[in-house]
Amino acid sequence: MKNRIAISCDHAGFELKQKLLTHFNDQYDFKDFGCFSDNSVDYPDFVHPLSMSVANGQYEFGIVICGSGNGVCMTANKHQNIRAALCWTAELGELSRLHNDANVICLPARFITENTAFDIVSIFLSTAFEGGRHKNRVKKIGLM
Q: The domain containing residue 60 runs over which residues?
A: 3-139
* Whether pLDDT at 142 is above 90: no
**pLDDT tens for each residue of 58-110:** 999 999 999 999 999 999 999 999 999 999 999 999 999 999 999 999 999 99
Residue 144 lies in a domain: no
**Considering the chain, what is the average pLDDT of its residues?**
96
The CATH number of whichever domain residue 118 belongs to comes to 3.40.1400.10
Active-site option among 66, 73, 87, 106: 66
CA distances from 25 to 17, 18, 21, 37, 136 (A): 12, 10, 5, 19, 35
pLDDT at 95: 98
Alpha-carbon span 114 to 56, nearest angstrom: 30
Residue 93 lies in a domain: yes
Alpha-carbon span 45 to 130, nearest angstrom: 33
How many domains are contained in the chain? 1
Say whether 66 is catalytic: yes
pLDDT at 140: 85
Say whether 99 is catalytic: yes
Active-site option among 11, 23, 48, 99: 99
Q: Which 3 state secondary structure label does DSSP give 79?
A: coil
- Sorting pLDDT into bands at 50, 70 and 90, what band is 27? very high
Quick one: which H or E segment has residue 65?
strand 61-66
Residue 54 lies in a domain: yes
* Whether pLDDT at 144 is above 60: no
- 38-48: average pLDDT: 98
Helix and strand counts by DSSP (H, E) for the chain: 6, 5
Residue 129 lies in a domain: yes
